[in-house]
Amino acid sequence: MKAITLGPQGLQYTDHPDKRPEQGQVKVRLKTAGLNHRDLFIIAAAASATEGASGPIHPCVLGSDGAGVIAETGEGVTGLFQGMEVIINPCLGWDRADEVPVVPDILGYPADGTFAEYVIVPEQNVVPKPAYLSWEEAGVLPLAALTAYRALFTRGDLKQGEHVLIPGIGGGVATFAALMAAAAGAQVTVTSRSEAKRAQALQLPVTRVIDSNSRWREELQHQPVDLILDSVGPATFGQYFEVIKPNGKIVMFGASSGDDLTIPARAIFFPQLQLLGTSMGSHEEFTAMLQFMEQHQIHPILDSVYSLAETPLALQRMERAEQLGNIALRIG
């Protein structure tokens, strides 16, 4: 089968061994897949690794998100059938929201992922594709939407009427979070350094869009926020304490500007803020997320669509942070 692999020769569009599902597994013929920043992190780690230290020694198929049609089922699989249209949950072995693994196992490394014509996954990691979604929308949904859902509702405990701040609008998680928060009845403020992205973000169901480089407190006109979803880290972290309400929550799911933070202790304990971490999500939350999406008829924001062979170009677009929303791969 054709696939995008990462190995000793770097990133390649090549033939990769086609396998059959084992007991409890299903083989999915992929129609579409979606890019995530995780793909870039894996490529960068492999490029900087010494032989055997980290990164794949043998070619591994990248990609965590995907949707397609079940081509074959292994022994013992029940409730799933050949020809069934499905979305793939890329988080492996995480069933319940409160049973958090040390590091979630995710499709796309070390397990072969979705940048290929076929992928094999455990039977519990496929769910029926909602009929209202196109194949491209379904293919980009899983990891970003799951991360946004857990950040907003499981960790952030978002309530109707609350004010949510999402710095750095542009990536898939941030755009999903904006759509979900608005659907839940929250006020939504987003920020971006890019004038073009701020103009595009005005098409989202958000309350306001502000420049990341401005003074947020003035831009918000002294309307403090209940919940901040942080994927940026040091570049914007200092401003959070000027705009968040007492007893507010900062939920961190990324660190695009670096890992090292300076945290003002008194700004945390006097207003009794909650600083929370989150990453990916459980099968329980994946099911709830799909129900929420379908209930509110939320469509992913599609930035662009590439062929499988054009994956390196798609990755370059994401690396340059040019996208607003999700980048899809059309397969087959």
Tens of pLDDT along the chain (332 residues)? 999 999 988 899 999 999 999 999 999 999 999 999 999 999 998 887 644 445 556 789 999 999 999 999 999 999 999 999 999 999 999 999 999 998 889 999 989 999 999 999 999 999 999 999 999 999 999 999 999 999 999 999 999 999 999 999 988 999 999 999 999 999 999 999 999 999 999 999 999 999 999 999 999 988 999 999 999 888 889 999 999 999 999 999 988 878 888 888 999 999 999 999 999 999 999 999 999 999 999 999 999 999 999 999 999 999 998 899 999 999 97
Question: What single-letter DSSP state applies at residue 75?
Answer: T
Write out the E strands in the chain: 2-7, 10-15, 25-34, 60-61, 65-73, 85-88, 91-92, 105-106, 118-122, 126-128, 163-166, 187-192, 208-211, 225-230, 244-252, 274-277, 302-307, 326-330
**CA distance from start to end of the chain:** 11
The token pair that represents 190 in the structure block: 């987003």
Residues in the chain: 332
Distance CA 313, CA 306 (A): 8
pLDDT at residue 57, as a whole number: 60
Fill in the amino acid letter for 41. F
Q: What are the helix and strand counts (H, E) for the chain?
A: 10, 18
How many other β-carbons are positioned within 10 Å of the β-carbon of residue 8? 11
Distance CA 81, CA 79 (A): 7
pLDDT at residue 50, as a whole number: 45
Environment class of residue 224 by beta-carbon count within 10 Å: exposed (0-12), middle (13-18) or buried (19+)? middle
Environment class of residue 127 by beta-carbon count within 10 Å: exposed (0-12), middle (13-18) or buried (19+)? middle
The token pair that represents 5 in the structure block: 């692999």
Distance CA 261, CA 252 (A): 12
Closest by CA to 155, choosing from 233, 228, 207, is: 228
Residues 70 and 84: beta-carbon distance below 8 Å = yes
Distance CA 178, CA 298 (A): 11
pLDDT at residue 49, as a whole number: 65
Question: Strand, helix or coil at 263?
Answer: coil
Question: Strand, helix or coil at 108?
Answer: coil
Fill in the amino acid letter for 83. G
pLDDT at residue 52, as a whole number: 46
